[in-house]
């Protein structure tokens, strides 16, 4: 077992954390807890996972010293609202990184996929639907899963993989690690900041403001707004301009004929590199 610090605000809200040196998959541990009837609000965190996976069952490589963390909760909310929790996790982690690495929260005119009128954007950005970028390179991914509990209700598992000390190699997109921006940062520090920020944003989501308030915050730091995108989805590739995220969390793309198309799922490639490899 490894001690991951749980911030006082999270402990006061009833959260727990179980830490590991290395595991197969933190999401698998969270699913097992749901099957066993655990009431939720439990984090599983590890410095390494050997059988991690991302969206669509893809392998997620997590070298030792990175952070793999999965939160299991049982929200008292309608099923239609639960997909919004992926955006809650994204906004919470974005806010946590802004506190940990304030230089990355400063606005600068890097790359062309910012969509702001003055060409300025934060160096940390949220990439639809489930990634976080730093200077345009992926540093974290989020996976949302739902599991029916034997005693009733739906358990939601939110898995977050963070490149803390190293990024996987051989990927078809740029990837980086937090250590490139602060060599002293470690997984425990990142987890503590994330766990605290999660409580804040989950309370906003669960306290009456719901998904629209979270989406509003998500839009403020979205990567690629106003840029060319290629979206790989079942049935083919859609190319166009990324206009916005609607209040339901759909990606809105304007195609070459001016049609605004709402995308519910797909892989997004940005800007002048909006081609598929």
**Stated pTM of the model:** 0.88
Length of the chain: 277
8-220 has CATH 3.30.930.10 classification: yes
Q: How far apart are CA 33 and CA 27, in angstroms?
A: 10
- CATH 2.30.30.100 domain position(s) in the chain: 228-273
Q: How confident is the model at residue 113 (pLDDT cuts 50, 70, 90)?
A: very low
Cis peptide before 129 (omega within 30 of 0): yes
pLDDT tens-digit series, residues 24-64: 999 999 999 999 999 999 999 999 999 866 555 566 667 89
Neighbours of 229 (CB within 10 A): 24
CATH number of 228-273: 2.30.30.100
How far does CA 144 lie from the centroid of its chain? 9
Q: How confident is the model at residue 210 (pLDDT cuts 50, 70, 90)?
A: confident
What integer pLDDT is reported at residue 153 of this predicted model?
87
Q: How far apart are CA 233 and CA 239, in angstroms?
A: 11
pLDDT tens-digit series, residues 70-91: 999 999 888 888 999 999 999 9
- CATH 3.30.930.10 domain position(s) in the chain: 8-220
Q: How confident is the model at residue 117 (pLDDT cuts 50, 70, 90)?
A: very low
How far does CA 161 lie from the centroid of its chain? 8
Region of poorest pLDDT, from 104-108, 149-153, 237-241, 245-249: 104-108
What integer pLDDT is reported at residue 55 of this predicted model?
54
């Amino acid at each position: 077992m490894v001690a991951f610090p749980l911030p006082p605000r999270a402990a006061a809200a009833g959260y727990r954390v179980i830490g590991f040196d290395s595991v197969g998959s933190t999401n698998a541990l969270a699913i097992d807890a749901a099957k066993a009837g655990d009431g939720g609000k439990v984090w599983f965190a590890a410095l390494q996972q050997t059988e991690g996976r991302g969206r669509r069952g893809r392998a997620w490589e997590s070298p030792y010293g990175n952070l793999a963390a999965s939160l299991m909760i049982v929200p008292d909310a309608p099923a239609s609202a639960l997909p919004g929790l992926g955006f809650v996790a994204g906004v919470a982690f974005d806010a946590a990184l802004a506190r940990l690495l304030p230089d990355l929260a400063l606005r600068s005119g890097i790359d062309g996929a910012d969509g702001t009128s003055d060409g300025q954007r934060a160096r940390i950005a949220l990439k639809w639907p489930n990634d976080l970028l730093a200077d345009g390179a992926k540093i974290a991914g989020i996976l949302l899963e739902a599991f029916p509990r034997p005693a009733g209700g739906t358990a939601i598992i939110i898995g977050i993989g963070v490149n803390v000390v190293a990024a996987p190699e051989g990927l078809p997109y740029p990837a980086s690690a937090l250590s490139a921006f602060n060599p002293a940062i470690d997984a425990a520090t990142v987890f503590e900041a994330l766990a605290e920020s999660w409580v804040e944003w989950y309370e906003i989501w669960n306290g009456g403001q719901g998904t629209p308030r979270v989406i509003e915050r998500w839009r403020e730091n979205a990567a690629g707004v106003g840029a060319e995108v290629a979206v790989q989805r079942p049935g083919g590739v859609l190319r166009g301009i990324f206009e916005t995220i609607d209040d339901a969390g759909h990606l809105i793309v304007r195609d070459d004929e001016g049609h605004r198309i709402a995308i519910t799922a797909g892989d997004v490639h940005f800007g002048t590199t909006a081609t598929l490899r």
